[in-house]
Amino acid sequence: DIQMTQSPPSLSASVGDRVTITCRASQVIHNYLAWYQQKPGEVPKLLISAASILESGVPSRFSGSGYGTDFSLTISGLQPEDVATYYCQKYNVDHFTFGPGTKVDLK
């Protein structure tokens, strides 16, 4: 099975900072990679599909990149409402595994 890892497990940043989270697949998954945001006490929300396609309504400060095995989610100018745990998920074959998550909070 393909394993998904994320780094860092957690980070603290200031409002306005540029934040980057990485996600790595143990095998090539092309661009079959999604990013989800889960705010405290809420259900997850889809942010990005196909590694880099921003979902409708998602602020443009969020962006995704990568292909193959290495991916990243960037928040260009962290806002207080971005405090959340972020998960990547692969969806190319029969096990739709999530990464372990990256918790983002404010410094």
Partner 1 sequence: ELQLVESGGGLVKPGESLRLSCAASGFIFRRYSMNWVRQAPGKGLEWVTAMSGSGTETYYADSVKGRFSIFRDNSKESLYLQMDSLRVEDTAIYYCAKGDEDFVRLIDFWGQGILVTVSS
* Residues at the interface with partner 1 (CB under 8 A): 1, 32, 34, 36, 38, 43-46, 49, 55, 85, 87, 89, 91, 94-101
3-state secondary structure of 52: coil
Q: How far is the CB of 91 from partner 1 (least distance, A)?
A: 5
CB 107 within 8 A of CB 12: yes
d(CA 56, CA 46): 10
Q: How far is the CB of 18 from partner 1 (least distance, A)?
A: 24
* 47 Rama class: left (phi>0) / alpha (psi -120 to 50) / beta: alpha
* Choice between 17 and 24, CB closer to partner 1: 24
Q: Which residue has the tokens 């309504």?
A: 57
Q: How far is the CB of 26 from partner 1 (least distance, A)?
A: 15
* Choice between 17 and 45, CB closer to partner 1: 45
Q: How far is the CB of 77 from partner 1 (least distance, A)?
A: 26
Q: Helix count (H) and strand count (E) of the chain?
A: 0, 10
* Choice between 44 and 68, CB closer to partner 1: 44
